[in-house]
Copies of this chain bind each other. A is one copy, B any other.
Amino acid sequence: MGEIESVLEKYQIRPTAIRLLMYKFLRERNIAVTLNDIESGFEKSDRTTLYRTIKTFEKKGLVHQIDDGTGVAKYALDEKQVEDGLPQDLHLHFHCESCNETVCLTDHKIPHISLPQGYISRDMNLVIKGVCDKCSGK
């Protein structure tokens, strides 16, 4: 059994052909991808299947969904987080308005924010928009 199979099993995801391919696909890039991106990367499979596959990954905690403000859901692998045993995804995301790519800045945690009385925080989502290193040329 390959390494990829064992990752999926670790997340209790049955390693079917498409799931293995999608996991590889996600590993190959370090940016968040849309369902459309995934679809373009697969010639064989059907959109619905890919949709349900990524949702399965999400439910099992292998990927997290990112809402970067473009209006389309994006997904990215989320492995480190589970290794740490953290229940939530509190790193921040950067969306480049030039190349339209979104990356996880996993080393940049969202700082603590004190809320008004009575407000209970369960999750946070911080997206910074601007120009990424590739596009700024610096």
> Contacting A67 at CB < 8 Å: which of B69, B105, B122?
B69
Please give, as numbers and ranges, the residues of chain B lying within 8 Å of A132 by CB-CB distance: 118-119
Closest B-chain residue to A137, C-beta based? Answer: B118
User: How many of these chains are in the complex?
Assistant: 2
The answer to whether B123 and A129 have CB atoms under 8 Å apart is yes
Please, which residue of chain B has its CB at the minimum distance from the CB of A121? B130
A36 to chain B, nearest CB (A): 16
- Give A113 to B130 CA distance when docked, in angstroms: 13
Contact A125 B69 (CB under 8 A): yes
- Since A67-B71, A69-B125, A124-B129 are in contact, a sample of 9 more A-B pairs with Cβ atoms closer than 8 Å, ordered by chain A residue number, is A67-B67, A108-B115, A120-B131, A120-B136, A124-B126, A124-B127, A125-B127, A125-B129, A126-B126
The 3 closest A-B pairs by CB, nearest first: A118-B133, A122-B130, A123-B129
